[in-house]
A = this chain, B = another copy of it.
Amino acid sequence: MDFNDTPAEAEFRAAARTFLEANATLTSGAPQRDETETEQIERAKAWQQLKQDNGWACLNWPTEYGGRGATPIELIIWNQEESRYDVPTGPFAIGLGMCGPTMIAYASEDQKREHLPRMAAGQDIWCQLFSEPAAGSDLAGLRTRAERDGDDWVINGQKIWTSGAQFSDWGILVTRTDPSVAKHKGLTFFFLNMHSPGIEVRPIKQISGGANFNEVYFTDVRIPDTQRLGEVGQGWGVSLTTLMNERLAVGNAGGADFPDLFELASKTDLDGEPAINNAAVREKLADWYCQASGLKFTNYRTISALSRGTTPGPENSITKIVSAVKMQDLGSFGLDLMDMGGILNDATLDPANLIFQQNFMGAPGYRIAGGTDEILRNIIAERVLGMPQDIRVDKNVPFSEVPTGNS
């Protein structure tokens, strides 16, 4: 039992470091940036292109589509190393992590050769159009219609929670093509050009003040049938491929964590001494340390399995649920430590407390996005522990007859 790379892994890591050192700046030494979204996208595209030119893009994709054919553990090593550098990878996360693998699995050979290398080189940005206002946890309850018209499909409806829709060139889309059959059976999957006529993108303001998501409206948007992925009516199966890749991607909620709170408690006065000396503060710190440590070493176990070339166990499925709740509670407690001043979010007064406010206002979203706490507990119970599904009243009923309530 150790934390060391194998010789091959060490060699790969050294090569990655050499490239990164030559082409990027460590986060800790990076200048504070004040750039527009457009500027950030340009920087991201340049970085992605540079990586692709040097064989560091889409490591686990086949070489013929712009990847490197690397092993899963090599991908992890690359990500570990890249994450230490001040490089903008966010705009490509969904495209490369979810859209690409779906295209690899379902697109035609010509389509793959056309789109994947452009994606890998940062020339096109992709987004994923799945959730709808009335289909969140119950994703398969989606209502966006696709109707056949000659060689095209005509799309009408609304998607929501689409990250990056405003700057995406392409998207993957799941639609309902037959409401007269059961929910999961009437879905069909496509990819489409996001610059098509009839698409309108509107940002959604979150309670944290940010706008990381969009609503996307479709009015008579046409998609050629050649851009269908999978058979008509088989869209749910395609979606599961995508979601499986999402599941791998959804990780630690991040935000202020144990070290930040430890530091705050060390410098904040409580009853005449540093708050860190207070037994109640120490107990909470200990609980969060154990959670953070448990997640870290759970992740190490997953990586170890990949390093051995075996399939990781289901342990990592706990990451989001634990980290999102921790993010919320720890943030809230950080504000408590600052007492009456905990509500201040004026950075000129004390920048330190902003990270705890960001936890407090951001965590409610993390507890929901990518699967609510409740859905994740269902998944752990069903897929990890093998417990049965809840009773499903919508399973063998035509979709059009499933009760829908107000929404």
Using a CB–CB distance below 8 Å, which chain A residues touch chain B?
Answer: 278-283, 390-391, 393
Contact = CB atoms under 8 A, between A and B. Distances in A.
Contact of A279 (B281, B390, B393): B281
A403 to B, nearest CB: 11
Please state the number of chain copies in the assembly: 2
11 contacts: A278-B279, A279-B279, A279-B280, A279-B281, A280-B280, A280-B282, A280-B283, A283-B283, A390-B391, A391-B391, A391-B393
Nearest 10 CB-CB pairings of A with B: A279-B280, A279-B279, A391-B391, A280-B280, A280-B283, A278-B279, A391-B393, A280-B282, A279-B281, A390-B391
A278 B280 CA distance: 8
Given A279-B280, A391-B391, 9 more contacts: A278-B279, A279-B279, A279-B281, A280-B280, A280-B282, A280-B283, A283-B283, A390-B391, A391-B393
A280 B287 CA distance: 13
A280 B393 CA distance: 48
A393 B390 CA distance: 11
A275 to B, nearest CB: 10
Nearest to A392: B391
Contacts of A391: 390-391, 393
Contacts of A279: 278-281
Contacts of A282: 280
A351 to B, nearest CB: 28
A310 to B, nearest CB: 35
A142 to B, nearest CB: 22
Contacts of A390: 391
A283 B282 CA distance: 12
In this complex, the member of A278, A280, A390, A391 whose beta carbon has the largest number of chain B beta carbons within 10 angstroms is A280
A407 to B, nearest CB: 16
A290 to B, nearest CB: 15
A194 B2 CA distance: 68
A352 to B, nearest CB: 23
Nearest to A390: B391
A383 to B, nearest CB: 21
A282 B279 CA distance: 9
